[in-house]
Structure 1
C-alpha cells in the first residue's frame, strides 16, 4: 500500500465531517474538485473506498468511519504541533474562520474587526455569515457566534458584546391610520411584517412585561428573510416590524419609524463567541479570544 499524503488525509477528514464536498470546500477556501481529487488519490493509495457518493449526500463507508475515528485526533495533534511555533511570534499568523449570524455580523463584529486586525496584522479573519445553527467544525470554522439559548453544552462560550433588545416599530403614517398598539395582542388586528427563518419557520413575536410572556403570530402583506426589505416595507407603512433595536436605530433616529410597545421589550443577553473544548487552541483563535475578553473586562 502506498503511503497516503497528509494533505489528502486532511481533505478526507474535512469532507467526512461536512458530509459534502461543496460544504467542505467553502469552509477551506478551495474548489470541490480539488477535494474530490484528493479523496480519489487517498482511496487509490489505501485500496479501499472511503466515501459513498450520491447526488444528494456524501457519507463515509464503514472503512471511512473507522479511518476518521483514528485520524481526527492525529490530525488535531499535527495541527497543534505546527501551530505551537506560532506562540513564539510577537503576533501570531494564520487564518481564523468564524461562523456568525447576520445580526452579529451587523451589530457586534464591526467594532471588533478593525481593532483586532490592527493589533494582529499576521492574522487573516474569514467570516462566514449563516443564520442556521451548524456544527462549526463541520462547516470549516474555528469558532462560531450565537446567542446563549442556542449554544451546545460542550462548547466554551465567551460574551462578545453587551445586552441587546428587540424592538417593535411602525411608520408615523401607519400609526395615524391604524392607531398605536398598547398591548402585544393588538398586533393581531394590524398588518405586520413577518420574518422567515432559514429553517422555513415563521417568527413568532415574543413580548415580556412584569414576568408575563405574550407570543403572537400576526398576519401581514410581506414575508421575508431580509431585514433590509422588512425595514423598507415598515418605513413605507406596510406594517409593524419587530427586529433588533440596532437594525431599526437609523430609521428611528430619522423619524421614519416610531417605536411601539417599548415596555414589552426587555433586554436580553447579547451574542457569545463559542468554540469547542480541546487541548490545543490555534494561535489565531487564542488571540481573538484574549482580545474579546480584554474588551469585555476579562469576562
Structure 2
C-alpha cells in the first residue's frame, strides 16, 4: 500500500527537529499525532524508521537512507504545489535560505526588512552556518555562498556588496604593548586570533596583497574559535587585547569607528568578490524564491 504523503512529511519533520514534541511545536500538531503518523508509515513499509528513547529520537539505518532520498524529492513536490500561490495574485509561502554567518550579519540585514515589507504573505527562515552543506538536500530553497563555493548546475546572482576586504586589527593597548606591524611578516611576532571551520581547517594562513605582491603568514595563536557563532567572541577578545584579528572589514568597521580596534597594514588588505545567491536550475522555482530573486536583482 502506498504511503500517505502526510506521513512522509511527518517523518521528515521529526527527523529534522530531533523529536516528536519539537516537530509538533513547529507544525501545530501534538506529539502523539506525530508519533502515530510515523508508526503508521513504519507499519506500511514493514521496517522501523526511528530509534525512540526517553531522551532522543534518531533515524535507524533504513530511516536515514529513506530520509536522504525523500528530502530532495519532497522539497520538489512542495515547490510544485507552491507554484499555485502565483494564482492568488501575489507570492505567498515560506522562503528558506542557508547562508554563512557573515552573510547573515553583513548582507541580509540590508535586504530582508524591505523584502518582508514588500511581500507580506512571505515568511523567511534563515539557517546560518559555515559548513560545506548541500543546501537543497538540507531543505533550503536557496543559499548564499562565495563564488569558489558554488555548486554545479546552479543559477547564481550577485547579492550584497560586490567587493569586500579582509581587515587586520588589534586593540590600541595591545599594539602599544607589542608594537605596530609595518609588514605582514611582522605578524609572526604577534598573537593571532584564528577561527576553525567545521572541517577542522583553520582561517590561516592570512593572505595580504600590495602592488602585485602576495604575502601569506600564519601567526602563532593562543585563541582559536569556531567559525560562525563564536566569531563575536574573537572580536571581543581582540578588543580586550588578546591579539590580532583578521576578519571582514564590514564586521570590524563599527569598532574602528569607536576606537576599540585599530586597523593595521591597511595598504595590504586584500579585496575579494562579494557573495552570490544561488539556487537549482533543475527545479521549479517556488513563488517566494522567485520574488526574492526579482527583489535582489532590482536592488542593483
After superposition, the Cα gap between the structure-2 partners of 1:191 and 1:23, relative to the gap in structure 1 and judged at 3 Å, is farther
Q: Is the 8 A contact 2:72 2:139 kept in 1?
A: no
Secondary structure of the corresponding residue to residue 221 of structure 2: coil
Question: What is the distance in 1 between the residues matched to 2:47 and 2:217?
Answer: 52
User: Residue by residue, what CA displacement relative to the aligned partner does 1:28-78 show, whole Å, maximum 9, x if unpaired?
Assistant: 9459x67665343212124x327485999746649x669948x965x4664
After superposition, the Cα gap between the structure-2 partners of 1:144 and 1:23, relative to the gap in structure 1 and judged at 3 Å, is farther
Q: Does residue 235 in structure 1 map to residue 239 in structure 2?
A: yes
Question: What is the distance in 1 between the residues matched to 2:295 and 2:75?
Answer: 24
After superposition, the Cα gap between the structure-2 partners of 1:152 and 1:57, relative to the gap in structure 1 and judged at 3 Å, is farther
Question: What is the distance in 2 between the residues matched to 1:139 and 1:265?
Answer: 35
After superposition, the Cα gap between the structure-2 partners of 1:177 and 1:285, relative to the gap in structure 1 and judged at 3 Å, is same
Q: Report what 2:282 is aligned to.
A: 278
Q: Is the 8 A contact 2:18 2:57 kept in 1?
A: no
Question: What is the distance in 2 between the residues matched to 1:239 and 1:72?
Answer: 44
Q: Report what 2:168 is aligned to.
A: 168
Q: Report what 1:189 is aligned to.
A: 189
TM-score, structure 1 length as denominator? 0.82
Q: Report what 2:94 is aligned to.
A: 95
Q: How far apart are residue 248 of structure 1 and its match?
A: 0.7
Q: Does residue 206 in structure 1 map to residue 207 in structure 2?
A: yes
Q: How far apart are residue 79 of structure 1 and its match?
A: 2.8
After superposition, the Cα gap between the structure-2 partners of 1:23 and 1:117, relative to the gap in structure 1 and judged at 3 Å, is farther
Q: Is the 8 A contact 2:192 2:243 kept in 1?
A: yes
Q: Does residue 118 in structure 1 map to residue 107 in structure 2?
A: no
Q: Is the 8 A contact 1:181 1:260 kept in 2?
A: yes
Q: Is the 8 A contact 1:14 1:138 kept in 2?
A: no
After superposition, the Cα gap between the structure-2 partners of 1:149 and 1:124, relative to the gap in structure 1 and judged at 3 Å, is same
Q: Is the 8 A contact 1:195 1:202 kept in 2?
A: yes
User: Residue by residue, what CA displacement relative to the aligned partner does 1:10-35 show, whole Å, maximum 9, x if unpaired?
Assistant: 345678xx8x6639978x9459x676
User: Residue by residue, what CA displacement relative to the aligned partner does 1:203-262 show, whole Å, maximum 9, x if unpaired?
Assistant: 202222333332222123322232222222222222111111111111101122121111
Q: Is the 8 A contact 2:97 2:144 kept in 1?
A: yes
Question: What is the distance in 2 between the residues matched to 1:273 and 1:283?
Answer: 16
User: Residue by residue, what CA displacement relative to the aligned partner does 1:141-177 show, whole Å, maximum 9, x if unpaired?
Assistant: 1111111111112222111112211100122222222
Of the three residues 269, 289, 292, the one matched with 2:293 is: 289
Secondary structure of the corresponding residue to residue 221 of structure 1: strand
Q: Report what 2:223 is aligned to.
A: 222
Stretch deviating more after TM superposition (52-61 or 104-113): 52-61
Q: Which runs of 5+ in 2 are unaligned?
A: none
Q: Which runs of 5+ in 1 are unaligned?
A: none
Q: Report what 1:129 is aligned to.
A: 128
After superposition, the Cα gap between the structure-2 partners of 1:249 and 1:72, relative to the gap in structure 1 and judged at 3 Å, is closer
Q: Is the 8 A contact 1:102 1:129 kept in 2?
A: yes
Q: Report what 1:22 is aligned to.
A: 18
Question: What is the distance in 1 between the residues matched to 2:208 and 2:177?
Answer: 23
Stretch deviating more after TM superposition (277-286 or 211-220): 211-220
Stretch deviating more after TM superposition (80-89 or 140-149): 80-89
Question: What is the distance in 1 between the residues matched to 2:189 and 2:43?
Answer: 65
